[in-house]
Amino acid sequence: MDFAVGVLILVVGLIVSIALHEIGHLVPAKRFGVKVPQYMVGFGPTLWSRTVNGTEYGVKLLPLGGYVRLVGMFPPARAGARVRTRRDGRPTMVEEARAAALEEIGPGEEHRAFYRLSVPKKLVVMFGGPLMNLVISAVLLAVVAVGLGVGAYTTTLANVQQCVPEDPQATECAASDPAAPGAESGLQPGDQVLSWGGTPVETWEEVSAAIEGGGTGPTQVEVRRDGEVETLTVTPTLAERPVVDDDGQPRVDAAGDPVTEERPYVGIGPTFELVRQPVTEVPGMVWDLFVRTGEIVLTLPQRLVDVAQAAFGTGERDGSVVGLVGVGRFAGEIASLEGQGYGLAERTADMTSLLISLNMALFVFNLIPLLPLDGGHIAGALWEGTRRRFARWRSAPDPGPVDTAKLLPVTYGVVAVMLGMSLLLAYADIVRPVSLGG
């Protein structure tokens, strides 16, 4: 039951995000006088609709997207231009698209066509949708970071190991293993480390750095235990420990074996808790999320190849790219997770983080300069403005709006690729699912 509730929460959040994305297009379009016959959330059969001020607002059966239908997206053919036809005399696909784009413009409404807008107004209309997703992502991130907190390792100890295992990969103590310095000094789970070697510490990274830089000599450590401050003497020992990369993953050598090195070792581990962040940290967090999402989108073709190899072969799936099925699985797992220290706040933060990532992905993906994505229309408007500027510089006639209808074959190709990508991810999410637990 909890799993289904989690999926339902995600679906509702996604529908709201889509609805707000389309509002980002709708509001400026109507403000600039463009005729907008339809605003729809979803695809397929209409479940509900109502017409207000000439616009039909509705919800459709399949919540897989949405659209705002703007009249006059494609300009008419230039005066005197040859109208192309098929061999049987029927209009070409491009000519049919032009006619469909203009057929709802009544007498005296020519000024309400989208193509008649100035370049800046076109950019505002088309950028409004992705911008709404960016705002949603940033606002939700601020709410989570400032109100609930971001998961981080703290200076409170979660565990104190009893021995120094000779095997760095060992999970249990052997009879011959010496006692661990932390346990030997009297450190206990629940102790909050206040200072290490006389240096105050506020994060686990600072504790780790103090251990690394302190060597193996006796070290004074201040901890808070049951409200009282105590001072203990810890003498780290040198031990072979795994080397990890910047993402915290163990490094391996050419043979695939873990890389280890001798480092000061105490045998303590931190708790993982939600730590509230100051609001000044939010812009940097939004930027970091944007950069990471952008890197994924830029490397999407290779990542999809890896997904295909995992789905149809024996390749590994890293989980950096999942489809709606996979995201739904994440939501269900979050709602179903149980355990000490994982309560309503942690569940809410994780569920909201899914929506934060989805909205950032919608923002970045929609900026790809290919039709039918918003980025394609933005690129067309920018090219239109560039042509007109060059024409003014050369005192040449206004070249008019860019004829994006000519790009329809490319548009259909992009749609086919996007559909194939969606099907591939859905299949991979089913046969080679990615779990939050790894």
- Which of 28, 13, 262 has its CA nearest to residue 126? 28
- Rounded Cα distance between 305 and 16, Å, is 31
- Rounded Cα distance between 193 and 196, Å, is 7
**Structural tokens at position 295:** 């890197």
* Separation in Å, CA 401 to CA 9, 76, 92, 117, 127: 43, 10, 20, 9, 18
In the chain, the largest separation of any two C-alpha atoms, in whole Å, equals 93
20 in Cβ contact with 12 (< 8 Å): no
Amino acid at 381: A
Tokens 């569920």 locate to 351
- Rounded Cα distance between 81 and 49, Å, is 40
User: How large is the angle between the packed helices 282-298 and 344-366, nearest 10 degrees?
Assistant: 50
* Separation in Å, CA 366 to CA 117, 132, 321: 21, 11, 16
**Structural tokens at position 25:** 């297009």
Phi, psi angles (nearest 5°) of residue 91:
-60, 150
Q: Point out which residues pair with 199 in neighbouring strands.
A: 196
267 in Cβ contact with 241 (< 8 Å): no
- Rounded Cα distance between 185 and 203, Å, is 21
Tell which phi-psi region holds residue 42, choosing left (phi > 0), alpha (psi between -120 and 50) or beta: left
166 is catalytic: no
Q: Which of 22, 222, 346, 384 is catalytic?
A: 22
Amino acid at 129: G
Amino acid at 101: A
Direct distance between the N- and C-terminal alpha carbons of the chain, in angstroms, rounded to an integer: 22
- Kindly list the catalytic residues: 22
